Amino acid sequence: MIVDDLIRHPAAWLAAGGEAGAVVSSRIRLARNLRSAAFPGWAGEEECEKIWQKLRELLQAAPTLAGSYAIGMDELELLDRQLLFERRLISREHAGKGRGSGLVGTPDERLAVMVNEEDHLRMQVIRPGLDLREAWSVMNAMDDELGSRVDYAFSPRLGYLTACPSNVGTGLRASVMLHLPGLVLMNEMDPVIKGVTKIGMAVRGLWGEGTEAVGNMFQVSNQISLGEKEEEIVHSLEQIVLEIVEHEKNARARLRDRKEAILRDHVGRSRGILENAHILTSKEALDLLSGLRLGLEMSILKCVDRRLLDELLVLTQPAHLQKREGRKLKPRHRDLARAQRVRQVLAEAGVKPVE
Amino acid sequence: MIVDDLIRHPAAWLAAGGEAGAVVSSRIRLARNLRSAAFPGWAGEEECEKIWQKLRELLQAAPTLAGSYAIGMDELELLDRQLLFERRLISREHAGKGRGSGLVGTPDERLAVMVNEEDHLRMQVIRPGLDLREAWSVMNAMDDELGSRVDYAFSPRLGYLTACPSNVGTGLRASVMLHLPGLVLMNEMDPVIKGVTKIGMAVRGLWGEGTEAVGNMFQVSNQISLGEKEEEIVHSLEQIVLEIVEHEKNARARLRDRKEAILRDHVGRSRGILENAHILTSKEALDLLSGLRLGLEMSILKCVDRRLLDELLVLTQPAHLQKREGRKLKPRHRDLARAQRVRQVLAEAGVKPVE
């Protein structure tokens, strides 16, 4: 039921309304653990279940999480868990869990807390566009509310303790999703990735750790959570993102000036294939949607309803597609259903070249 | 001037009016040499020039060639010679020739005689669709007319003598151009090529010897011209072509029955890219036009004017493109002009999916 309600509106990180440009969304994630209980990887199912039941109650009582839903992973079909992953509400790892772990979140999807992923609490605030400070302030409030009610595992020397050493300290991971087709088309993405990595940030794909950068989508996030204050982490990331956005703007300007035909060809082919293909893999769909998005942002294409197109980023993903069709589909049949859905949405969205 | 007149109408082999299906055109070519003169490869420029002047007069006086034009290769710019090659009126080799060689042909392009290519006379009759017998009968008449006026190099034991041993005997090469996307999409083209080769026929690409089979176009022709009567050669080829056409029909039927999505995807993408690309190489254009043609023939697509689309086969070729633009273009600029031309013609032709 919860999942059925969620998919009635676009995922929180897509709700920017089409004016976001290179920055798709901002995300703050905080890892916390209870001092009194074994970490999820060491606790048995029964202990996990007790922790989940206790934490869901605490979380739902927190003012920032007013009106939130809570659901155990064991209450969800695999397809629904995959769908939550596609909406970036849970991790791929969490989607594979069962009894003893769960999710508490607000219906608008901006706040989501995984319970018993690799830490007892993985709290997430996600917002469209570049909005890290606001996301951090919401997160900070939620953390304070919970911190006053439970005893967090904390070391005066190290800070907050977590299952993985990379999260020890603040437990904070701030990340921004960027759409960078200009840099990719100008073959300038590699130096950007190298530069960002060199100053201690990580660059990942659309669905986080271990995922390839499809659709020219890149997630930039802090690597280190120890030894820096939260505000500093958020501030540094924001600065780097603004720099990358500047690079992307430059790349797009040079693309238009010096490689206009390549740009128009890329945009035109993306549109032509999306509107006419009958078989589309999710990777190809994301890559082509990137071209369409670039065309709209560079005024090569126009459309009546940009949000419909943005939503396709998620709606073309396997679980969303199957949910919509109301049944499980083999990959081959998903590719057919995906192409059909894309053709239909593009017709509705009224994509046209700007004369 | 001659070239400017020719390009006002579609190439002879394209004039089928869109109902030809798998068979694009039929061609008969006869190689003949004069007994009294050295073969072109051994004669000097002066001797070649004398032969050309003598033969152009003789040819233009022949009743079958009434109203024909005659032009020396040295009177033509390289671009015009390339254009004649693209229209299949001369060979690639002949397009590289200068003084001492020429072309005599009828304005409808159905008859064309290369003088001093590798033989003194290379006579060609080309007709749209499967029409080998009629082509042969026209050729036979032309050959008789000329044979009564000049003394052909002929050996009672071997037959007509030619520069290359593969043409000795009848000097005849009969060939049929086939469009076989069904067999290619069903991965069944290889056995067909093997079978055809085994019985002594050759399979080549769109522009003859040494050209790759782009656009799913294949030329099937006799390999051997010695030891068989002309009518037998023509008859055997016709039989083989009818068989291949049957295979192609079967392949298309199975494509529709068992691989409909692949078929629709192929046709849809071909159309989508042609209508929206801004950079198109000639090879890609031919490949995509093949998909469009298949879509029209299988009633997946419809259009107002099929002939416009057929003509693109030739109009997208480098020399035609440059002739139309009125200037020489670098390959990169040709790819832009080609894409623009294709978009324009497709809009004019009114291509739409059949609902």
Give a three-class secondary structure readout of A144-159: HHHHCCCCECEECCCE
Say if residue A317 is exposed, middle or buried (CB neighbours under 10 Å; 0-12, 13-18, 19+). Answer: buried
Do both B333 and B198 map to the same domain? no
A51 vs B213, residue with greater confidence: A51
Q: Pick from B212, B229, B252: which residue ends a domain? A: B252
What single DSSP character describes residue A34? B
Residue among B180, B57, B128, B175 at smallest CA distance from B314: B128
| B355: Cβ contacts below 8 Å, ≥ 6 apart | none
Which range among A121-125, A237-241, B206-210 shows the weakest confidence by mean pLDDT?
B206-210
Whether residues B115 and B51 share a domain: the answer is: yes
Instruction: Identify the residue with better confidence: A182 or A7.
Output: A182
Residue-wise pLDDT for A313-355, tens only, equals 999 999 999 998 899 999 999 999 999 999 999 999 999 999 7
Residues from chain B that touch A264, judged by Cβ atoms under 8 A, are 278
**Quick one: B156 and B280 in the same domain?**
no
Of B262, B265, B276, the CB nearest to A272: B276
With beta carbons under 8 A apart, name residues in chain B contacting A336: 261
Look at A45-59, A163-177, B204-218 and tell me which has the smallest mean pLDDT: B204-218
Query: Which tens digit of pLDDT belongs to each residue from B103-125?
Result: 999 999 999 999 999 999 999 99
Beta-strand pair B154-155/B159-160: antiparallel
Q: How far is A283 from chain B (nearest CA, A)?
A: 16
Q: How confident is the model at residue B142 (pLDDT cuts 50, 70, 90)?
A: very high
Residue A72, sorted as left (phi over 0), alpha (psi -120 to 50) or beta, turns out to be beta
Whether the CB-CB separation of B18 and B306 falls below 8 Å is answered with: yes
Residue B352: beta bridge partners? B302
Tell whether the model's pLDDT for residue A82 goes beyond 50. yes
Q: What is the mean pLDDT of residues A228-246?
A: 94
CB of A132 closer than 8 Å to CB of A26: yes
Residues A149 and A271 in one domain: no
Inter-chain residue contact B261 with A271, CB threshold 8 Å: no
- Report the pLDDT averaged over residues A154-165: 93
Residue bearing the bigger pLDDT, B11 or A257: A257
List CB contacts (< 8 A) between A271 and chain B.
272, 276
With tokens 């739902």, the residue in question is A60
The residue of chain B with its CA nearest to that of A277 is B265
- The predicted structure's pLDDT at residue B214: 87
Of A206, A226, A252, the one marking the end of a domain is: A252
Give residue A209's pLDDT.
60
Asked which of A196-200, A267-271, B192-196, B224-228 is least confident by mean pLDDT, the reply is B224-228
Query: Minimal Cα–Cα distance from B10 to chain A, Å?
Result: 28
User: Rounded to two decimals, what is the model's pTM?
Assistant: 0.91
Q: Which of B278, B288, B298, B344 to mutate to test the interface with A (most CBs of A within 10 A)?
A: B278
pLDDT at A1: 65
Higher-scoring residue by pLDDT: B273, B224: B273
SS3 A23: strand
pLDDT for the residue B11:
86
Q: Write down the pLDDT at residue B18.
A: 46
Helix axes A331-349, A318-325, angle to 10 degrees: 80
Q: What are A217's strand-pairing partners?
A: A179
Beta bridge partners of B28: B125, B174
Complete DSSP assignment for B59-70: HHHSGGGTT-EE
pLDDT digits (tens, 9 = 90+) for A194-227: 999 999 899 988 776 666 678 999 999 998 888 8
Last residue of a domain, one of B221, B236, B252: B252
Task: Determine the pLDDT at residue A320.
Answer: 94
Residue in A265, A272, A276 nearest the CB of B279:
A265
Chain A nearest CA to B334, separation (Å): 12
B264 to chain A: closest CA residue? A278
Residue A53 three-state SS: helix
pLDDT over 50 (residue A18): no
Chain B residues in contact with A272 (beta carbon < 8 A): 269, 271-277
Output the pLDDT for position A269: 98
Instruction: Provide the 3-class DSSP secondary structure of residue B159.
Output: strand
A31 and A149 inside one domain = yes
Q: Are strands B121-128 and B154-155 parallel, antiparallel or unpaired?
A: unpaired
> Which one of A262, A276, A329, A333 makes the best mutation probe of the B interface by having the most chain B beta carbons within 10 Å?
A276
Same domain, B220 and B316: no
**Interval B279-304 mean pLDDT:** 94
Which residues have a Cβ under 8 Å from the Cβ of B170 and sit 6 or more positions away?
A: B30, B159, B160, B225, B226, B228, B229, B230, B233
Contact A277 B268 (CB under 8 A): yes
Specify the CATH number for the domain of residue A127: 3.30.590.10
Picking from A29, A33, A88, A91, the residue whose alpha carbon sits closest to that of residue A233 is: A29
Q: Is the pLDDT of residue B212 over 80?
A: no
CB–CB contact A276 B261 (8 Å): no
Structural domain total, chain B: 2
**Which residues in chain B have Cβ-Cβ distances shorter than 8 Å to A294?**
none
Q: Do B274 and B232 fall into the same domain?
A: no
A266 and A243 share one domain: no
Of B262, B272, B336, nearest to A276 by CB-CB distance is B272
pLDDT band at B208 (very low <50, low <70, confident <90, very high): low
Residues A313 and A244 in one domain: no
Average pLDDT of chain A, as a whole number: 92
C-beta atoms surrounding A293 within 10 Å: 27
Q: How far apart are CA A12 and CA A254, in angstroms?
A: 32
B196 shares a domain with B283: no
Q: What is the model's pLDDT at position A161?
A: 95
Report residue A34's pLDDT band, with 50, 70 and 90 as the boundaries.
very high
**Minimal Cα–Cα distance from B278 to chain A, Å?**
4
A186/A59 same-domain check? yes
Residues of A with CB under 8 A from a CB of B: 261-262, 264-265, 268-269, 271-279, 336, 339
Domain that holds residue A322: 260-353
pLDDT category of residue A6 using cuts at 50, 70 and 90:
confident
On the question of pLDDT at B349 being above 60, the answer is: yes
> Min CA distance, B127 vs chain A (Å)?
35
CB-CB contact of A303 with A350 (8 Å): yes
Task: Identify whether residues A292 and A348 lie together within a single domain.
Answer: yes
Average pLDDT over residues B306-325: 90
- Among B265, B268, B277, whose Cβ lies nearest the Cβ of A265? B277
Tell whether the model's pLDDT for residue B60 goes beyond 80: yes
